[in-house]
Amino acid sequence: MIKGKAIVMSGIRPTGFLHLGNYFGAIQNYVKLQESYTCYFMVADLHALTTHPDTKTLNDNVHRVLAENIACGIDPEKAALYCQSHVRETAELYLYLNMLAYLGELEKTTTFKEKARLQPDNINAGLLTYPVLQAADIILHRATWVPVGKDQEQHLEMARNYVKRFNHRYGEIFPEPMAYNFGEDLVKVPSLDGEGKMSKSENQLATLYLADTDELITKKVMKAKTDGGPTSPGMPKPDYIENIFQLMKLVCDQNAIDHFEEAYQNCNIRYGDLKKQLADDMVKFISPIREKAESIQNDKKYLSQVMEMGAIKANASAAETMSLVRAAMGLNY
Ligand code: TRP
């Protein structure tokens, strides 16, 4: 642990392909955080087992997620980029925290209820105690800041409860972890069908993935919903058109945006041209990331080195915390 710098920790589930929403909503901010904080970025392979028990696909997914994160700018020299299962003390802390977690609260967790509904034949105890494992990930490094999306806030609140209970019963070891809020930097990435945000699993044709080929990107963008265009000047944009302009702001230069904005106001906008511009700029943005991720992913030796380097940093911090924990609990006979 580098003294003096606040500690940031976050986890990435290796269960799907990263998309533009992950990039602008999370990874881009991690890349900034690694400059000024001590960062632990973890691939949550153990969490993945609660929903995806097949370890053959898991192995590929772990490599891909690591490669994609590095291609997006996470620097394994600056941040600790590691794999959850390489830090064995996570399991030990998870066990202790389980004694401080109550069945009633776990059953009420939104994500648990949702996953139980989605996989009624596999409502395993790991699924129930998912937030306990997540708390262990975070407090193992005595992290104070956790950059996560809104859907994770309940898990963080649970983590704070376990911290309070632990500190109260055994002594002040852990700071209370807080969601790191990006404020104005938090970018929403709308989906291409005008409904909601880009997402890992829902409507894959309306989501741009960092692994999409140029042809697929173009095809998806050109299929985005439009209409006959505005019929009188100053008409407000329908949601699906507003979304296209939102997406342009992420990747197009201002001149191009101004041009189409003006055309919209003058009621002579050609949506085919608008989408062509967006498609071209999306291709320009995504293709270098995709190519870089592909070459990293094929370099298994480099990826093992990255994981090893990350595990060394994460294990050092975990060992420090766990010796304090065992002493505080009186488990040091
Ligand atoms: N539950 C998180 C998600 O689904 C992933 C995660 C695992 C995590 N451990 C974490 C996030 C620790 C933040 C901190 O996205």
Whether residue 2 has pLDDT greater than 60: no
Residue 58 CA neighbour count, 13 Å, CB half: 18
Encoded tokens for 215: 């042809």
Please, what sign has the CA dihedral across residues 279, 280, 282, 288? Answer: positive
Interstrand relation of 145-146 and 80-83 (parallel, antiparallel or unpaired): unpaired
What confidence category does residue 196 fall into, taking pLDDT thresholds of 50, 70 and 90?
A: confident
Q: 181 with 195: CB under 8 angstroms?
A: no
Catalytic residue of the set 78, 197, 225, 292: 197
**Which residue ranges have their beta carbon within 6 Å of ligand 1?**
9-11, 13, 44, 47, 134, 137-138, 146, 148, 152
pTM listed for this prediction: 0.93
Q: In this predicted model, what pLDDT tens digit does every residue of 231-284 receive, in sequence order?
A: 998 889 999 999 999 999 999 999 999 999 999 999 999 999 999 999 999 999
Q: In this predicted model, what pLDDT tens digit does every residue of 38-91 receive, in sequence order?
A: 999 999 999 999 999 999 999 999 999 999 999 999 999 999 999 999 999 999
Residue 323 sits at the vertex; the CA angle it makes with 173 and 10, to the nearest 5 degrees, is 60
Separation between Cα atoms, residue 19 and residue 289, nearest integer Å: 11
- Measured in degrees and rounded to the nearest 5, phi and psi for residue 225 equal -70, 130
- CATH top-level class for 204-293? mainly alpha
Considering the domain delimited by 7-180+300-329, tell me its CATH architecture. 3-Layer(aba) Sandwich (3.40)
Q: In this predicted model, what pLDDT tens digit does every residue of 120-142 receive, in sequence order?
A: 999 999 999 999 999 999 999 99
Ligand 1 atom 8 nearest Cα: 11
CATH 3.40.50.620 location in the chain: 7-180+300-329
